Chain A
């Protein structure tokens, strides 16, 4: 399916689910799965049609526009899970999957496999997930990926909702001597470990672009409907200006997210990892992070106090924007990381880095 029909199909399905009397994440997931969207990116060896990052990005971006379903781990299943399992030699799995990098899991070999213990804090989508993919990143050891399927039936696995960033749905995963057979732990090659970071950045970037699309739509609607001084507030030049500035941020972020997905997809097709995709993804992550802050400020200003009430939906998008920007680490660190890549190419390499060749 090419991009536009794909976008329309996903949006139509989710809008239909949203308009039910009681929107149900379970039903939304089931329908996404039945329509084949959860299988986007499933390896050919597992009966899928192989990696399609562009389509996966379209899916993630559309899902972001439906906050009712924000607890569904669509992105971590489709954009990361399928690929990560293949990279670590684990069997494919279409179940909703939460992915987390865990720095201090205790993995103990036993006669019939391993026992895994530890706490993985603030994982998105875990409460809905049936499968957990935990990347045990101990600097002293090779990186391992631990797959825990059907986690609801597994002794020692519990999910504790963490409301520190509500309404963003975050959960702590608590593992207590969880039995994992040896076929469910795979080694992650170093190159794939680096690529995982980029994928996570791409996922957040594309998701933010979708949140921003919705924030712009909400703001356009509100400004056209809300009347003050006898006319819609969108008739005032001061408001028009805020809307134009908001639109510019949303368009720049959206173009950046598209460009990053395209660059990452072309890297995939050519096999080898190269820096072009890394520059694009890191640049797009910074740009969407910047847009998240500016756009949220402008959208709330246009909405007035209505926008900060729990009843009105705006905050269920802006809160997510504030949470997901800058990938959960200081922005300055992300800037330094990209800046060092650029500086290493030298002044004559700067323009080729912009032009992509």
Chain B
């Protein structure tokens, strides 16, 4: 019965970063004007563009929080927040490096060996090493602790068998950070392995979305040998490690900016027509977005301070993804999309993506249980 778990102090974004922001904006303008990307919705999952990721790496906008000795920028999570929100708001294609930069890097810094950090972090920061996340399985969705993919200790490493599902971009990534069971039990026997996706015994099969897009996969591991040096952290500590990882996964600006380009179009329409309904709708969405961002910055600051604000992160994700869904409906109702227009196309794409907003990274229903638990209920 305490609000402490979800009530985080306001720490604010660092001052004096206007230059960084402007640098990112000017890069985005150049790329857009050169036709190298078209602003879209949900581009952190759908916009897989290795060239774009490499360009970000060249500008030191990936791995920003990694120490310089690992090729990183040695900057705070709040500096990274600035870059990430600029990229998302612009609807830029950031999917290729997304998971590596967002959660694999921080996990390696927290739990990885020196050799692992040397091996992966510079490549991640360069935008040239992409990770998929192997958590869910055919029979383990919301109940993540029930994963059955087994890793058995063998000479020199592990032998892994099982099936991972909903593995975004596994067909295009080099590595998969994989949650496996190394001992019976629930939370106790879980372990994380860094598995090369070109290992013998791995088959990656597409699971096509209703949009026709292919980013989900089923990854079947059949007696795959994984060298011992690919163990992340401690065997048996996987649950704690994944919980920390999920706080990164759930609280970022991608949980409320996936549909921001729709708001830009609503603003364009309101400015052009002075239509009252569109103008009022714009204000209402803005007020929600602005407030979500304030909350999200708090979680980023807590993560930066080494805390694991999992209930607060769950709260941001639940609220943010509901907002994204509402945004689609509100803009559809207020912005007068003419069939065949750019807005019409964006709306259609957003509508088809929107059911996933409140599923991926933890369903809203599971998140709410986490939030209530954080509140002592």
Question: Is A252 a contact partner of B267 (Cβ separation < 8 A)?
Answer: no
**B265 contacts which chain A residues (CB < 8 A)?**
347
Q: A258-B10, A262-B12, A355-B85 are in contact. Are A248 and B318 (CB under 8 A)?
A: yes
Question: Is A243 a contact partner of B260 (Cβ separation < 8 A)?
Answer: no
Q: Out of B12, B276, B291, B315, which one reaches A256, CB within 8 Å?
A: B291
Question: Is B6 a contact partner of A251 (Cβ separation < 8 A)?
Answer: yes
**A282 contacts which chain B residues (CB < 8 A)?**
283, 287
Question: Is B10 a contact partner of A244 (Cβ separation < 8 A)?
Answer: no
Question: Is B376 a contact partner of A251 (Cβ separation < 8 A)?
Answer: no
Question: Is A280 a contact partner of B290 (Cβ separation < 8 A)?
Answer: yes
Q: Out of A239, A279, A347, which one reaches B264, CB within 8 Å?
A: A347
Question: Is A350 a contact partner of B290 (Cβ separation < 8 A)?
Answer: no
- Which B residue sits closest to A3, measured CB to CB? B9
Render B190-202 as a binary contact track against A, CB cut-off 8 A, 1 for contact. 0000000000000
Distance, CA A350 to CA B268, complexed state (A): 9
Q: A284-B291, A343-B271, A347-B264 are in contact. Are A355 and B279 (CB under 8 A)?
A: no
Main secondary structure of the interface of B (DSSP, over half): helix
A137 in the interface, Cβ–Cβ < 8 Å? no
**B283 contacts which chain A residues (CB < 8 A)?**
282-283, 286, 334-339, 342
**B295 contacts which chain A residues (CB < 8 A)?**
251-252, 255
What is the total of A-B residue contacts with beta carbons within 8 Å?
172
Total interface residues in chain A, CB < 8 Å: 58
Most buried by B among A240, A253, A290, A343: A343
B140 in the interface, Cβ–Cβ < 8 Å? no
Question: Is A243 a contact partner of B267 (Cβ separation < 8 A)?
Answer: no
Stretch at the interface among B126-134, B229-237, B364-372: B364-372
Render A229-256 as a binary contact track against B, CB cut-off 8 A, 1 for contact. 0000010010111011101101111111
Distance, CA A342 to CA B267, complexed state (A): 7
Question: Is A339 a contact partner of B270 (Cβ separation < 8 A)?
Answer: yes
A50 in the interface, Cβ–Cβ < 8 Å? no
Q: Which B residues between 249 and 286 are near A, CB-CB below 8 angstroms?
A: 260, 263-265, 267-268, 270-271, 274, 276, 278-284, 286
Question: Is B3 a contact partner of A255 (Cβ separation < 8 A)?
Answer: no
Stretch at the interface among A86-94, A141-149, A212-220: A212-220
The residues of A with any CB-CB pair to B shorter than 8 Å are 3-4, 213, 216-217, 220-221, 223-224, 234, 237, 239-241, 243-245, 247-248, 250-256, 258-259, 262, 279-280, 282-287, 290, 332, 334-340, 342-347, 350-351, 353-355, 357
Q: Could you list 6 A-B pairs, sorted by A, with CB under 8 Å?
A: A224-B1, A240-B368, A244-B375, A248-B315, A251-B315, A336-B283
Known contacts A251-B6, A339-B270, A343-B270; 9 further A-B pairs (Cβ under 8 A): A224-B1, A234-B372, A240-B377, A244-B375, A247-B3, A255-B294, A339-B281, A346-B268, A354-B290
